Amino acid sequence: MNSRAFILLAALAALIFGLASCGRQDKSGPAGPRKAEEGGKAIELRVYPDPPVALRETELMAHLSDDGKPLKGAKVSFDLTMPAMYHGENRPVAAEVDTGIYTAKAVMPMAGVWLIDVRVEQGGQKFFQKFYVDVKEK
Ligand SMILES: [Cu+2]
């Protein structure tokens, strides 16, 4: 085999290997759901798609429960920030789409680590949970 053919073969092998490793990464599956509980009040955050993609619409969904029962009629909002830098206010307000399930659409303008603070208010009580979400490059 001459050297030119060898280089071509090596490049082809690298390409195939690269595609194969991308395929494996894609099968790693969703990162969520994320759940935290305090004083019987549980907040589970799901994001669609998971992981979210920068500059694309993401659906945020909070499943709320109190002592294991779905938490109805709460005011829920999400506060989206990037710990590394300031991106301005990004606080979509959620609507209750089913008992204890609240959703809002959001756009995160940059890939990287975002902090999603799920804020809940019900019957004069306020509570929250913060979740880290890794946003992918477009
Ligand atoms: Cu940023």
Q: How far is CA 41 from CA 10, 61, 62, 100, 123, in A?
A: 57, 16, 12, 12, 13
Question: How do residues 6-26 score in pLDDT, each as one tens digit?
Answer: 544 455 444 444 443 333 333
> What is the CA(70)–ligand 1 centre distance, in A?
34
> What is the CA(117)–ligand 1 centre distance, in A?
16
Please give the residue range of the domain that contains residue 9.
1-29
Dist. CA 113–CA 35, nearest whole Å: 18
Is the Cβ–Cβ distance between 78 and 119 less than 8 Å? yes
Cβ neighbour number for residue 75 with a 10 Å cutoff: 13
> What is the CA(49)–ligand 1 centre distance, in A?
19
Helix, strand, coil abundance in the chain, percent, nearest 5: 15, 50, 30
> Do 122 and 83 share a structural domain?
yes
> What is the CA(84)–ligand 1 centre distance, in A?
7
> Do 21 and 49 share a structural domain?
no
16 CB-contact burial (10 Å; exposed 0-12 / middle 13-18 / buried 19+):
exposed
> Do 105 and 76 share a structural domain?
yes
> What is the CA(106)–ligand 1 centre distance, in A?
15
pLDDT of residue 29: 39
> Do 115 and 99 share a structural domain?
yes
> What is the CA(82)–ligand 1 centre distance, in A?
6
> Do 81 and 16 share a structural domain?
no
pLDDT of residue 82: 97
> Do 79 and 128 share a structural domain?
yes
> Do 45 and 19 share a structural domain?
no
Residues whose CB is less than 8 angstroms from the CB of residue 84 and which lie 6 or more positions away in sequence, other chains included: 112, 113
Question: How do residues 111-132 score in pLDDT, each as one tens digit?
Answer: 999 999 999 999 999 999 999 9
> What is the CA(83)–ligand 1 centre distance, in A?
8
The residue with greater pLDDT, 103 or 4, is 103
Question: How do residues 18-75 score in pLDDT, each as one tens digit?
Answer: 443 333 333 333 466 799 999 999 999 999 999 999 999 999 999 999 999 999 999 9
Alpha-helical segments (H) within 2-93: 3-26
Question: How many domains is the chain partitioned into structurally?
Answer: 2
Cβ neighbour number for residue 8 with a 10 Å cutoff: 12
> Do 44 and 23 share a structural domain?
no
Note residues around ion ligand 1 (Cβ under 5 angstroms). Answer: 82, 85, 110
> Do 19 and 54 share a structural domain?
no
